């Protein structure tokens, strides 16, 4: 993915997808292994002890319908560091993230829920010196009955930033 945006992954992507951030490919491979012959794994299939290197980059979201909302149930420490705000238990549509693309993260979760398959996104943020840096994220659905997506596991990773760039980021805020 070269420009900002979000897209669902097709069958060829599941084996051949190249990510800017290797942690996103690692999550996809883990999710595929847990899925097996099903459309998607369940939350009980996810074992944090199997993915210790991913944990700082992991988000777990809970999805509700009517109206559709995505609530962050767990936000990894690296994500909290970059966000400068622990948005655990907050809804995606109630937060103003740092990206300059005014990304609709709740809409990304909705696409994953509707498709029952994973998606990848790329967003950008502006840092000190007016430079632009990228954020790549992967969202993978989870389901108790292999039909309705009830949760998602996601990763987020960043273009490396120097200390001044990290300190120049605006914190995530409630809308």
Q: What is the pTM of this model?
A: 0.92
> Is the model's pLDDT at 30 over the cut of 70?
yes
Using pLDDT thresholds of 50, 70 and 90, give the confidence band for residue 2: very low
**How crowded is the C-beta side of 32, counted as CA atoms within 13 Å?**
16
Residue 110's H or E segment, with its range, is: helix 105-115
Closest CA to 141 of 8, 41, 14, 16: 41
Residue 126 φ/ψ, nearest 5 degrees: -100, 135
Instruction: Give pLDDT, residue 78.
Output: 93
End-to-end CA distance of the chain: 29
Tell me the per-residue pLDDT of 57-81, one tens digit each, with 9 for 90 and over.
Answer: 999 999 999 999 999 999 999 999 8
**Average of per-residue pLDDT across 102-110:** 88
């Amino acid at each position: 993915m070269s420009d900002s945006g979000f897209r669902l992954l097709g069958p060829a992507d599941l084996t051949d997808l190249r990510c800017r951030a290797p942690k996103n490919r690692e999550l996809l491979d883990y999710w595929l292994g847990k899925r097996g012959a099903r459309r998607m794994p369940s939350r009980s299939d996810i074992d944090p002890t199997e993915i210790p290197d991913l944990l700082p980059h992991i988000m777990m979201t809970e999805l509700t319908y009517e109206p559709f909302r995505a609530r962050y149930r767990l936000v990894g420490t690296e994500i909290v560091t970059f966000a400068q705000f622990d948005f655990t238990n907050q809804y995606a549509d109630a937060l103003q993230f740092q990206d300059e693309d005014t990304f609709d993260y709740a809409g990304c979760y909705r696409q994953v829920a509707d498709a029952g398959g994973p998606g990848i996104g790329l967003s950008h943020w502006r840092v000190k010196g007016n430079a632009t840096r990228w954020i790549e994220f992967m969202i993978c659905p989870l389901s108790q009955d292999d039909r309705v997506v009830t949760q998602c596991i996601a990763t987020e990773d960043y273009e490396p930033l120097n200390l001044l760039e990290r300190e120049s980021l605006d914190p995530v805020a409630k809308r």
